[in-house]
Amino acid sequence: MRRFDVFVFRDQRWWILEIPALGTISQAERYSDVPSTARDLIAIWLDAPAGTVPTPRIIRRTGPSM
């Protein structure tokens, strides 16, 4: 399965996740939750079991990219 890039930035108390390849966003309260939140979102979007989604590449930004 393809590995996705996830762009993240801080917006007050939340981390905002953007997955441009899927045209979708999500949020996590803690930075440590970003990889699992991204994996879950990708799995839902692709209708695939979460365990089959590779760990996405997390790229920190200072603001939105989409």
Is 62 among the domain residues?
A: no
Is 43 among the domain residues?
A: yes
Is 21 among the domain residues?
A: yes
Is 35 among the domain residues?
A: yes
Give residue 12's domain range: 5-50
CA–CA gap between residue 7 and residue 19 (Å, rounded): 7
Write the CATH number for 18.
Answer: 3.30.160.250
Let me know how long the chain is. 66
As for how many domains the chain has, the answer is: 1
What the block records as the tokens of 26 is 């999500």
CA–CA gap between residue 28 and residue 59 (Å, rounded): 15
Q: Taking 70 as the threshold, does the pLDDT of residue 14 lie above it?
A: yes
Rounded average pLDDT over 34-45: 95
By percentage, how much of the chain surpasses pLDDT 90? Answer: 77
Residue type, 15: W
Rounded average pLDDT over 39-48: 94
Given pLDDT bands bounded at 50, 70 and 90, which one contains residue 37?
A: very high
Q: Taking 70 as the threshold, does the pLDDT of residue 57 lie above it?
A: yes
Question: What residue has token string 């762009």?
Answer: 7
**Which are the contacts of 49, defined by CB distance < 8 A and separation ≥ 6?**
43
Is 60 among the domain residues?
A: no
Is 58 among the domain residues?
A: no
